Amino acid sequence: MPAIVLVGAQWGDEGKGKATDLLGSSVDYVVKFNGGNNAGHTVVIGEEKYALHLLPSGILTPGCTPVIANGVVVDLGVLIEELDGLEARGVDTSSLLVSANAHVIPPYNRVLDKVTERFLGKRRLGTTGRGIGPTYADKMSRVGVRVQDLYDESILRQKVTAALDFKNQVLAKIYNRRAVEVEEVMAELLRHAERVRPMVTDTALVLNQALDRGETVLFEAGQATLLDVDHGTYPFVTSSNATSGGACTGSGVPPTRVDRVVGILKAYSTRVGEGPFPTELDDEHGEFLRNQGAEFGTTTGRPRRCGWVDAVVGRYAQRVNGITDFVITKLDVLTGLERVPVCVGYDVQGTRHDEMPVNQSDFHHAVPVYEELPGWAEDISGCRTFEELPDNAQRYVLRLEELIGARVSAIGVGPGRDATIQRYPLLG
Ligand code: GDP
Ligand code: IMO
Ligand code: MG
């Protein structure tokens, strides 16, 4: 099973980090192909808890090579800080590879991300403020700075100067902010360049050659399907392709080499930031999910919006990603509920929708149609086989499986690496 893509099926924070870590010991490479330090993946190994933003979760597994591929946007300061933080905790990070074609997040894009959000006021997107959107915009506008540019000072200066000629006008004239100096930006970018240099390579070549040798490559998505710039709830999305197709463009590994797509689906729904969310709960059930599930952002600390699971979203994710296997995470969080609603369709002003509405305004007005399943009270965090789960928990998983259109191969019953029920092998 050489190339596997792992994606989020909802709005992020489904537990991709834990799932990647779980597979880490069985794969040779773990590749981050989209996004940047807007992601936040929490991995719990024994007593140790790691919060990763820019580094692929595979970095925690000895023998597994972590790769930051061309589709990622890299904040160099954050990269170094994360590497130093892990080294200080005894994690060997020396095998990290970084694509020469990945784009760099220059400091002015962090500033622009924040001032744009402030300027938008009520119309803001609720971004993470890490400069992600402006950096992808630069990439598409062909005024971005790539990792390889760090090693040619004259090209770097030309690119930064060209970008600032325009951006300083925007900063000063629209946002009333001070202009950014070219040399200030050069100094920040060059400060980290030498440290990163040994990691920089043609990662597309490395990965394709590894696949030629029969090695296993796992692609770990940041964000998720409904935050994808093409397939998500635009404009309330991130600025990259977080769906499985992004693994190919974001790494240079072609679709013909991808064998399996694993979708991570939380047993309920959460969303951080603005945008439509039909099953959102503003009542005590929402509070219950937030508290039981510790739903506070890994990156910004914001309380996550919570709601019931949405099978229409799950089915949509299955379709656009080609999900072959689902991992349902955080089933333990639902323990104690008398009844567990599952959204099976929407009512939009009297019209029933079984699939995501074509027009997004309809999604904004979608009223969930629920099927209520009986809950369970038993602690399930110690269950390690499907049969050990209480009957009603099994029923919940089986009903979801029926609705979302692919088998449920694993189930998370706690944050720890071992708190997982494996039903079918995810590899091999
Ligand atoms: P990611 O961004 O998709 O990697 O997810 P996050 O790490 O942002 O959020 C998922 C949170 O849920 C983390 O704190 C995980 O430690 C935790 N988690 C993952 N799987 C499970 C599970 O099955 N049960 C419980 N209770 N927590 C889990
Ligand atoms: P992981 O990988 C949840 C959201 C932000 C905002 C929108 C755009 O941990 O699942 P951006 O800074 O990317 O321009 O913000 O996307 N967002 C996430 N929400 N999990 C994430 O990553 C997210 N990354 C971005 O809250 O609504
Ligand atoms: Mg997260």
Q: What is the pLDDT of residue 1?
A: 58
Does the pTM of the predicted model rise above 0.85?
yes
Amino acid symbol at 254:
P
* Local structure of 417: helix, strand or coil: coil
Alpha-helical (H) ranges within 121-264 are 132-141, 153-169, 182-196, 203-212, 244-249
Q: What DSSP assignment string belongs to 254-277? A: -GGGEEEEEEEEESSEEE-SSS--
Catalytic residue chosen out of the listed positions 21, 28, 41, 325: 41
Q: What is the pLDDT of residue 196?
A: 97
- Of all protein residues, whose CA lies closest to atom 16 belonging to ligand 1? 415
d(CA 149, CA 156): 5
Instruction: Name beta bridge partners: 347.
Output: 352, 367
Nearest to 232 by CA among 274, 268, 267: 274
Q: For residue 142, give the H/E element and its range.
A: none
| CATH 3.90.170.10 describes domain 3-91+202-422 | yes
Pocket of ligand 2 (CB under 6 A): 8, 12-13, 38-41, 125-128, 130, 132-133, 222-224, 227, 238-239, 272-273
Biggest CA-to-CA distance, the chain: 66
**Topology alike, domains 3-91+202-422 and 103-197:** no
Q: What is the pLDDT of residue 6?
A: 98
Q: How far is CA 296 from CA 36, 40, 237, 320, 344, in A?
A: 19, 11, 19, 28, 27
Neighbours of 38 (CB within 10 A): 28
- Of all protein residues, whose CA lies closest to atom 20 belonging to ligand 2? 12
Nearest to 360 by CA among 228, 235, 224: 235
Is-contact 409 329, C-beta < 8 A? Answer: no
In the chain, where are the structural domains located?
A: 3-91+202-422, 103-197
**Phi and psi (nearest 5°) for 238?**
-90, 180
Chain mean pLDDT for the chain: 96
Q: What DSSP assignment string belongs to 203-228? A: HHHHHHHHHHTT--EEEE-SS-GGGS
- Of all protein residues, whose CA lies closest to atom 27 belonging to ligand 1? 415
Pocket test for ligand 1, best of 16, 21, 23, 42 (most atoms within 8 A of CB): 42
Q: CATH number for 103-197: choose from 3.20.20.70, 1.10.1740.10, 1.10.4160.10, 1.10.300.10.
A: 1.10.300.10
Concerning whether 41 is annotated as a catalytic residue, the answer is yes
Is-contact 12 223, C-beta < 8 A? Answer: yes
Parts of the chain with a pLDDT under 50: none
Q: For residue 353, give the H/E element and its range.
A: strand 351-353
State whether the Cα torsion 78-265-317-220 is positive or negative: positive
Ligand index nearest the alpha carbon of residue 274: 2
